[in-house]
Amino acid sequence: MDATIEAGQSRFRRRPNVTGGHGRPQDQRGGQKTFRPEDLYGALDLGTNNCRLLIATPGENGFTVVDAFSRIVRLGERLTQTGRLHDHAMARTVDALRVCANKLKWRNVTKARLVATEACRMAENGAEFIARVTSETGLKLEIIDRETEAGLAATGAEPLIDPQAETALVFDIGGGSTEVMWMQKRDQRFEIAAWTSLAAGVVTISERFGGGVDVTDQSFAAMRAYLRPMVADFAARVKTVAGTNEPSHLLGTSGTVTTIAGVQLGLQRYDRSRVDGCWLDSGGIGAVTADLLSMGYDQRAANPCIGRERADLVLAGCAILEEIREAFPAKRIRVADRGLREGILTQLMKQDGAYGRRA
């Protein structure tokens, strides 16, 4: 893993989602916006819970997103109980991957990296599923290890580390695992001084503790007690390496932290422009967790920033986040609606010398 990344401000922007009758991006004058295939890069992240795709082109501030796709597929459903990917979950995921394949093919993207993470790493039939994906969609997915996943997540979120900070704890709460990275500044650059990948994510924790629909104070406390030794072990290691486990700030990237941000901001609908890069008071996050714990499933599902697809997972994510906050005390948390895919795009473009250049 390349453990050194530059400190700095946000280096990419998303193109407004202006589409014509066939879903093709338009320029601001209403004509069809076209891109040369050699200027397009693709990044696909198939996780335990989500399937996400970004297609981007180099731009002056890093890169500009041309097209995107995200769908909750729950590939890892029941994986912790059986050790295998199940038929319905695989079928849902293949359907989503067909959409991704069509987008990549329609735009003639040839420079892409397509990765699969914890669900495919854990499953007995993970490699078999990857072969099925290739057969049915033409996509060649790469199952990456946890170290690579942590490095890509850090690269994707890094532009939001406060440049005045000396340290930061970056965490990515996924569906099947949680990557946590202690970042330390050295010669005006941030390095990953220590990292871990916890074998716990929103899907696995939710399923382990009753399914996430009826969450009580007792079951939430049990989630936290289960997670505590994992997080505490890493905090102790960080203190040995860095002399402290109190970062300048936390930086979270995942559906959990962006959902909590949307709830805390009182958004009537999720708005990435308000969530990505926002700062939250750590104590305020604890208050949101308490509010969510007091709600029933239907109340959580009715919240526009949660919805029915996340209502049974959000409290498992809160349990992970609460343990991270307790083990790594910080007054502020910055929220990143970005991560693995952005890390992939950054690396691909830097390898070509195209990152930060106008296409």
What CATH number does the domain containing 40 carry? 3.30.420.40
Has residue 153 been placed in a domain? no
Residue 187 clears pLDDT 90, i.e. is over it: no
Q: Are residues 96 and 244 located together in one domain of the fold?
A: no
Give bridge partners of residue 87 from the DSSP assignment.
none
Q: Which two tokens stand for residue 46?
A: 């198939």
What's the pLDDT tens digit per position in 327-336?
Answer: 999 999 999 9
Has residue 359 been placed in a domain? no
Radius of gyration of the chain (CA): 20
Q: How far apart are CA 112 and CA 178, in angstroms?
A: 24
CATH number where 306 lies: 3.30.420.150
Least confident of 10-19, 122-131, 151-160, 196-205: 10-19
Q: Are residues 251 and 294 located together in one domain of the fold?
A: yes
- 174 neighbors 206 (Cβ within 8 angstroms): no
The total domain count for the chain is: 2
- Going edge to edge, which strands form the sheet with 111-116? 12-14, 62-72, 50-59, 41-46, 111-116, 142-143
Confidence of residue 253 (pLDDT cuts 50, 70, 90): very high
Q: How far apart are CA 77 and CA 90, in angstroms?
A: 10
For 208, the domain range is 162-336
Asked whether the whole model's pTM tops 0.75, one would answer yes
Look at residue 33 in the predicted model and tell me its pLDDT. Answer: 67
Look at residue 119 in the predicted model and tell me its pLDDT. Answer: 95
Q: Are residues 288 and 329 located together in one domain of the fold?
A: yes
Q: Are residues 46 and 96 located together in one domain of the fold?
A: yes
Q: How far apart are CA 352 and CA 257, in angstroms?
A: 32
Has residue 284 been placed in a domain? yes
What SS3 class is residue 342?
A: helix
CA distances from 295 to 190, 214, 263 (A): 40, 10, 13
What's the pLDDT tens digit per position in 69-118?
Answer: 999 999 999 998 999 999 999 999 999 999 999 999 999 999 999 999 99
Confidence of residue 359 (pLDDT cuts 50, 70, 90): low
What average pLDDT does the segment 118-134 reach? 97
